[in-house]
Every structure is written in C-alpha cells, then in structure tokens.
Amino acid sequence: MTQDNNILVDVQNLSKLFPIGQGVFKQAASFVHAVSELNLQIKRGESVGLVGESGCGKTTTGKLLTRLLDPTDGNIILDTDEGQVDIAHMRGKKMKIFRRRVQMIFQDPYESMNPRLTIYDTVAEPLNVQGVGSVAEREARVADLLETVGLAPASSFLFRYPHELSGGQRQRVAIARALVINPDFVVADEPTSMLDVSVRTGVMHLMQDLADRFGVTYLYITHDLAVARYMCDRIAVMYLGKIVEIGDTEDVLQNPQHPYTKALISAVPVPDPTYTREPIKIKGGVSRPVDPAPRCRFYDRCPLADKVCESNDHPPLEDKGGGHQAACYHV
C-alpha cells in the first residue's frame, strides 16, 4: 500500500509527572516522572511498537496520546485535514472532534466492555456519542465492521452480551469498536497479552490485515518483544520514562545498541530447546522514577556505567546509522 511520508503524530518533549502525597489541602512532596521529555514521530500507515517492562511509561504514553491523561508538558501534533493540530492541551468541543481521529484498543477483553451493554451498543458507542449517521446507518455500519473483524454472521453477534463471547471474540469486538469511526491513529495497549496463544495469532493477523486495508496507523504497546517483532515496522524501547533506543524492528532486535536493549533481548526466552541463550546480567530491579537524579536513568544498573554517565544529564537520542537511534554515551 502506498505510504506518503507525512508524519501523522509528532510527539515533542512530552512529559507526565504524577504527584505523590498530594491531598486536597496539601502540596505534593515528590513526583513520579512517568514520562520524561519524550520525542517520537509516527508516520502515516506505519506501525510503531513501544516496548519495555512494567513501570517504563509505555502505557502512560499511550494514555497521553489518547488524552485519557493530561500531559504535564510538551506537545502532541496531529496532522489532520485542517492542518497541524496540537492535541496536548485541547479542551471541550475540539476534544470531541479529536476523538474521531484517535482510538484505543485495550488489553483486557473482559473488562473493556460494559457487561450490561450489547455488542451493538459497545461498537456503536463512538457513533452514538459523536452523533454520526441515523440509527439504521449505524446498525449497518456496526454489522459491516463485525463481519470485517471475522465475527460473521453479524446478526448472530449484534445483540449478544460480552459474557457470551470468548476472549478472542471480545478482542475482535474491541478492534471493531476502535475502527468504527474511521480513525487515523489507533493506540493498541497490549491487545493480545491476555489471549490464549492459538487465538493470539488470529487477532494479530487481523490487525495487520486491517492496517493494510484501511491504512490505519498503530502505536503498538507491548512488553513482549517477540510479538512486537511481528506487528511493528519500528520499535522504540522505553526505560523509566524515556526512549532509550528506536529504529527499524529487525535492526533494533538483531543489532541492539543500548545496554538496556541488549539485556532485555538477551532475557527473552526462546522457543527452541537447541538454542543457547546468553543472558546479559544487569544489577538490581526496576524501580519507579521518583524525582530522578540528573544523570542517565540507567546508571545504577548499567554494566557500562561510569563517571561520564553520572555527571551528565540523561543522554540524548543519537542517530547510529539508518534511522537507528540510541541514548547512550558509550555507543
């Protein structure tokens, strides 16, 4: 499919700070820097993976891009028909219009649907809320989409309840809901991690298929590098709120530059008993980035850490060749 080189989403210096110990009458004592000065550009039609372990800020980033959370700082520029729009600090009516362009697929197929609403109600919700089309048109659109995601015949799914469907079927409904309003950009937050393996591949194939057919741009958030390899054109590795490496998927996975990426990749189990994996040992465990010191965030676990890393601020992302960037002083 044709890809124009336009940048659909341009994230500039995005930050999100969560206060700790704040009450109605009390100021915050310290802050969790969940996302720090994040920069990311997503091209139209591409699928970018955001990978990392728990606490790295990938889910928070996803929520910031869909404005479920308000950014503390930074800009999110969306390229729309009406020109470049900064959605980071939008409010009110304009927000509602922005909602038509960005949608989300959630992780939990059980909890992401209101158990008291029918499948039709769930998928049609964006249409209902945005006031798109007549009731008959909405029904037709929902039925159409259900068949597209593989729930055919649509008439037998339209008025069922979520608890009557399996996990895989529910996730297909979630995909239908995300696409019903024809968005430009979809954030998928671990959409397959709670599904059985044999069902997972079906949903993965579906998402790729839909991306090809409808030109949807994805931000695919996952902790599973193997899944990211299959779903994403480019991967960004996050650690404690910062992107430490980004590049074409195969490039990053086969030729990692940042010490964290190397350690992460080496820790992933391989489904081949004859393969000997050599895990790279790094110290300690991941912690929350509370009031981080002005040095490299990976300093206290990195095997390459030294004075340079400690005395300077967190290293910027530098191009290491062919669009592959890493944030490290020693690479």
Residues in 176-235 that interact with another protein by CB under 8 A: 177, 181-182, 196-202, 204-205, 223, 225-227, 229-230
Is residue 38 within 8 Å of 13, Cβ to Cβ?
yes
**Site for another protein, residues 123 to 162, rule: CB under 8 A:** 125-126, 129-130, 132-133, 135-141, 143-144, 147, 153-155, 158-159
Which stretch, 1-9, 10-18, 93-101, 315-323, contacts another protein (CB under 8 A)?
Answer: 93-101
**Site for another protein, residues 35 to 74, rule: CB under 8 A:** 53-54, 63, 66, 68
Closer to another protein by CB, 20 or 68: give it. Answer: 68
Is residue 295 within 8 Å of 309, Cβ to Cβ?
yes
Q: Dihedrals φ, ψ of 39, to 5°? A: -125, 130
**1 - beta bridge partners?**
none
Among 28, 110, 310, 319, binds another protein (CB under 8 A): 110
Say how far residue 42 (Cα) sits from the centre of its chain: 12
CA angle 252–224–325, rounded 5-degree value: 20
CB of 48: closest distance to another protein in angstroms? 17
Q: Measured between alpha carbons, how far is 191 from 193 in angstroms, rounded to an integer? A: 6
Closer to another protein by CB, 2 or 54: give it. Answer: 54
Tokens at 138, concatenated: 């909405």
Closer to another protein by CB, 99 or 330: give it. Answer: 99
Regarding 116 and contact with another protein (CB under 8 A), the answer is yes
Closer to another protein by CB, 7 or 265: give it. Answer: 265
Tokens at 175, concatenated: 């995909």
Among 17, 87, 113, 296, binds another protein (CB under 8 A): 113
Tokens at 281, concatenated: 């040992």
Regarding 106 and contact with another protein (CB under 8 A), the answer is yes
Closer to another protein by CB, 13 or 159: give it. Answer: 159
Distances (CA, A) of 288 to 34, 100, 241, 270, 297: 8, 34, 9, 28, 11
Among 3, 29, 94, 96, binds another protein (CB under 8 A): 96
195: left (phi over 0), alpha (psi -120 to 50) or beta: beta
CB of 180: closest distance to another protein in angstroms? 9
CB of 65: closest distance to another protein in angstroms? 11
**Site for another protein, residues 279 to 318, rule: CB under 8 A:** 279, 282, 285-286
The H or E element that residue 41 is part of is: strand 30-43
Regarding 84 and contact with another protein (CB under 8 A), the answer is no
C-alpha torsion sign, points 244, 250, 256, 257? negative
Q: Measured between alpha carbons, how far is 84 from 187 in angstroms, rounded to an integer? A: 19
Which stretch, 32-40, 213-221, 268-276, 307-315, contacts another protein (CB under 8 A)?
Answer: 268-276
Count of residues engaged in binding another protein, rule: CB under 8 A: 88
Is residue 122 within 8 Å of 158, Cβ to Cβ?
no
